[in-house]
Amino acid sequence: MRRSQASRIIAGALGCYPTRWRSRHGDEATELASALLEDGTPWWSIAASFLGGAAKERALRKPSLRVGSALASIALGIAAAPLALFASLTPASASSTNITIVISRPGDAVRELESAFAAHHFKIAVAERPVSTDLVGSILSVSTVRTSSDNAGAIKELLGRCNGGGSGCMDGLVLPPNYSGSARVTVGVASTSKGVYHLYLAIVPRNQ
Amino acid sequence: MTSRGLGDLPDVLRRAGDASVLILTSLADGPKHGYALIQDIKSFSGVQLGPGTLYGALDRLERLGLIAELPTEDRRHPYRVTAAGVTALRSHLDALERVSVTGRLRLGLGTV
């Protein structure tokens, strides 16, 4: 399991908590999950713990919906896990990660990334895709256009905040300083037509 | 059955779960945030709390007034044990000790 894929699955599990819980604990829980992953805690153990916690939290908040709500949480989490897995197009990194680029202005993410890539002489194009407000400024995918064996899977996504304060969005990248491959990063931008945006979902066959 | 500790204090932790007792024990020597709690509890008990279990227990303890949240540091929320939390932990440990002593005596192991 690659780190970015594990992060997406864990973010999916965190998404099963009620909004009020996420607004209070979401950021810290995301950071805690990253630290546990770094320590070698299995991703499935972290995700399962959050799913169980989410089911209990929902049951606690709405006792009248105890069974249905808890089951819905678990079902949502189970459904989200493979989607999160397949939505990740980023290979794992085998290189050291020295350069961290974090999007600080979601509304200007495209220009911000282009400037950062140019400053480091990276051949990485930035594409944009209209999305819902919370995904504006989030990295939707990273696809390698051409790469040497040294650079294969060298770009890692960073799990961080969503536009508006939620957690579970990719808001940055980590690359080795000597990255020489070509890649394309797709970033969420505000829809120009009110209420019209793409529901972003990538489904990749298992054998890829 | 009602469990009572020294001074006839009610053992409010009796039904709070092992995670709550472990968290209160960890906080007994100073405030900690989530990750530090998990690491500390693992070091003194060998139990690795899952993050979902941890946050559930923290919320429960806070509702009971046994811990309190301190001002956020970066994204982290440190917690401290309250006076009520200290009392509850002492009462619970006393109750556990009585069970431990009785069990050891009945097994012929004597007392520590």
Q: What is the ipTM metric for this complex?
A: 0.80
Q: Do residues A103 and A185 both lie within one domain?
A: yes
At A118 the pLDDT is 80
pLDDT surpassing 70 at residue B64:
yes
Q: Is B44 on the interface with A (CB under 8 A)?
A: no
Please give the structure tokens belonging to residue B105: 């005596």
Cβ contact (<8 Å) for A53 and B35? Answer: no
pLDDT surpassing 70 at residue A157:
yes
Query: Which of A36, A52, A87 is the endpoint of a domain?
Result: A87
At A29 the pLDDT is 93
Looking at per-residue confidence, does A152 or B98 come out higher? Answer: B98
Q: Do residues A13 and A77 both lie within one domain?
A: yes
Query: Which of A38, A54, A87 is the endpoint of a domain?
Result: A87
Q: How many domains does one find in chain A? A: 2
At B72 the pLDDT is 82
Looking at per-residue confidence, does B31 or A6 come out higher? Answer: B31
Cβ contact (<8 Å) for B75 and A52? Answer: no
Q: Do residues A11 and A72 both lie within one domain?
A: yes
B43 bridge partner residues: none
Please give the structure tokens belonging to residue A77: 């989490």
- Split at pLDDT 50, 70, 90, the class of B70 is very high
Using CA atoms, how far residue B56 sits from A192, B7, B19, B63, in Å, is: 41, 30, 9, 11
At A171 the pLDDT is 80
pLDDT surpassing 90 at residue A151:
no
Cβ contact (<8 Å) for A53 and B38? Answer: no
Domain that holds residue A17: 3-87
A100 Cα to chain B: minimum distance (Å): 19
At A138 the pLDDT is 82
Q: Do residues A150 and A186 both lie within one domain?
A: yes
- Split at pLDDT 50, 70, 90, the class of A78 is low
At A173 the pLDDT is 81
Query: A59 to chain B: which residues are within 8 Å by CB?
Result: none
B14-106: what CATH class? mainly alpha
A173 bridge partner residues: A101, A157
Classify burial at A131, counting beta carbons within 10 Å of its beta carbon; exposed 0-12, middle 13-18, buried 19 or more. Answer: buried
- Split at pLDDT 50, 70, 90, the class of A4 is confident
Is the residue at A201 inside a domain?
Answer: no
At A77 the pLDDT is 55
Residue type, A22: R
Q: Do residues A41 and A123 both lie within one domain?
A: no
> What tens digit of pLDDT does each residue of A26-44 get?
989 999 999 999 989 999 9
Is the residue at A159 inside a domain?
Answer: yes
Is the residue at A195 inside a domain?
Answer: no
Q: Is A171 on the interface with B (CB under 8 A)?
A: no
Residue of chain A whose alpha carbon sits nearest to that of B73: A28
Is the residue at A196 inside a domain?
Answer: no
pLDDT surpassing 70 at residue A197:
no
Residue type, A205: P
At A74 the pLDDT is 56
Q: Do residues A37 and A81 both lie within one domain?
A: yes
Closest residue to B75, CB basis, from A27, A41, A56: A27
Please say whether the dihedral angle defined by the alpha carbons of residues B77, A98, A87 and A39, taken in this order, is positive or negative: negative
Q: Is A150 on the interface with B (CB under 8 A)?
A: no
